[in-house]
Amino acid sequence: MKMTTGLATPFVITKLQGEQRLEEADLVAVEEPLQIRLEFEKGDNFITKDLLVTMRSPGHDFDLAMGFLFAEQVIHREKDVLWIRYCQQVKEEEKGNVIIVRLAQDLDFDMNLLERNFYTHSSCGVCGKTAISAVSGHLDLVNNNLQQEIKAKTLMALPKFLSCNQYGFKYTGGLHAAVLFDAQGTLLALREDVGRHNALDKLVGASLKKGIDLENKVVLLSGRVSFEMVQKAVRAKIPVLAAFGAPTHLSVSLAREKGITMVGFLKKDRFNIYSHPSRIK
């Protein structure tokens, strides 16, 4: 796990451009989970409630907390919040990732709103390291079941397949895609959705229905690669995850830990390898 500062952190990656294969440092966007701890009074009771909201880029966290609570109908105006501060009773590496929100004493809201769509965390501290450890226990390493190495030129040819076959995006410009290929670059399945996560879920679901073994396949994503996308790939035992966009630092860390080869910034003549480059020839 890398120490992070600001919005970017360095990784040593393998860059392929034409026939050149270079090892160099690269800056990757920081991704960290933000936990909100609510404090409020209900009758004579003082209640605390821990919520893990989202994986985010650090910065403007108080705005994020206010907007989230407003969207979930917990608050309705600014004065419904007495104050917001960062929790200090955490480990050094976890500081800045936990927010305490004290709600106004007379605020009336439905407690059931706090029970849906949230992942509760048992401690006040949370960081990228704990996010990875939270999924490591129930996710196995991805085995290298590819029958042969994937050629770099095969990966570079994948974008043209997507441009020719992503019909939803072609007509709307508003859909993400997840595409399944074999090691020779043959297109096996494609799914589109307005959400990146949904597109990958659809692709995995379709593969399960068709009895397609994902352990020796390549998945191409139309957008960036976040922590949750790698988590889904590990769960499906997909060994190679390629994307047009950039990965986040947590996605790189999880891919390296779990044995996934991650490719980013995939173009017709170059790409970056962020983890396990040995699968690519």
Supply the pLDDT for residue 173.
61
Q: What is the pLDDT of residues 3-38, one digit of tens each?
A: 344 678 899 999 988 888 899 999 888 888 888 899
For the ranges 49-63, 118-132, 148-162, the one whose mean pLDDT is highest = 148-162
Supply the pLDDT for residue 172.
62
Supply the pLDDT for residue 143.
76
Supply the pLDDT for residue 95.
87
Supply the pLDDT for residue 121.
45
Q: What is the pLDDT of residues 205-249, one digit of tens each?
A: 899 888 899 988 999 999 899 998 998 999 889 999 999 999 999
216: Cβ contacts below 8 Å, ≥ 6 apart: 145, 146, 147, 182, 183, 239
Strand partners, 176: 193
What percent of the chain stands above pLDDT 70? Answer: 85
Supply the pLDDT for residue 165.
67
Sequential DSSP letters for 121-141: -SSS---HHHHHHHHHTT-PP
- Average pLDDT over the chain reads 84
Q: What is the pLDDT of residues 106-147, one digit of tens each?
A: 888 877 777 655 544 444 557 777 777 777 666 788 877 665
Supply the pLDDT for residue 5.
47
What distances in angstroms separate CA 141 from CA 20, 74, 233, 240, 259, one per listed residue? 30, 40, 11, 13, 6
Cα separation, 225 vs 234, whole angstroms: 13
Residue scoring higher pLDDT (170 or 280): 280
Cα separation, 222 vs 110, whole angstroms: 39
What confidence category does residue 100 fall into, taking pLDDT thresholds of 50, 70 and 90?
Answer: very high
Q: What is the pLDDT of residues 163-206, one digit of tens each?
A: 676 666 556 666 788 899 999 999 999 888 878 888 899 899 89
- Span 97-101, mean pLDDT? 91
Cα separation, 181 vs 178, whole angstroms: 10
Residue scoring higher pLDDT (3 or 74): 74
- Span 242-268, mean pLDDT? 94
Residue scoring higher pLDDT (66 or 262): 262
Supply the pLDDT for residue 116.
56
Q: What is the pLDDT of residues 159-171, one digit of tens each?
A: 887 767 666 655 6
Supply the pLDDT for residue 6.
67
Helices (H), the chain: 61-71, 128-136, 152-165, 167-172, 196-210, 227-236, 249-258
Supply the pLDDT for residue 171.
62
The residues annotated as belonging to the active site are 124
